[in-house]
Amino acid sequence: SHVQENGIVINDRIIPSDVDPNNYSDILKFSNCTGCTVDNCAIHGGKEDCIDAVRGDLYTFKNSTLLPVHNGITIKGSIDGATLENITFGTHGKDCDIDIGQFDNYWYIGRAPTRNVVIKNVIADDDKPVVVRLWDATTPVIENSNVKVVKIPKFIWWPYFVFRAIQTRGFANVTKPVGAGEFIKTK
């Protein structure tokens, strides 16, 4: 896990290298980071995501192979700028391959959507489309990729996000941002 770190570069690795990936929820987790890069890696999925990026901006995931169990990549929390380039999915996630703008505990009414995502040269080994699910997000720029975009309508995700914000932070805080260094326990 990387929290509030800038410029992290993870490259030329098989992740995890020495243990069963089922021992982990997320294999690589980034929270409120800037300018982080994952390059030329093979990432085996855990109980949740191969890569989970929450808040922050300017993430780059490239030249890598993902073998998800549930989700491949999740980009959420009002992230501004993420590039997924030259990614190959060796398997498809049971839940989804790429989730963009998915709920997190730091959502509040008025928060900017996840935005400025570029998906370039993203494919699956089995030639089936890579499923990209959009929640509270702008539509990504898609170039030379075999993807299927599924947009979750706002009338579905918005009430659930409000409910979860009230549940985790209380009704009085549903429109208030959460500070960068604050962590929320799920009730």
pLDDT value of residue 116: 98
- Rounded CA separation 66/49 (Å): 10
pTM listed for this prediction? 0.92
Which has more confidence, 127 or 186?
A: 127
Which residue carries 């918005």 as its tokens? Answer: 158
In the predicted model, is pLDDT for residue 184 greater than 80?
no
Task: Tell me: pLDDT of 54 over 90.
Answer: yes
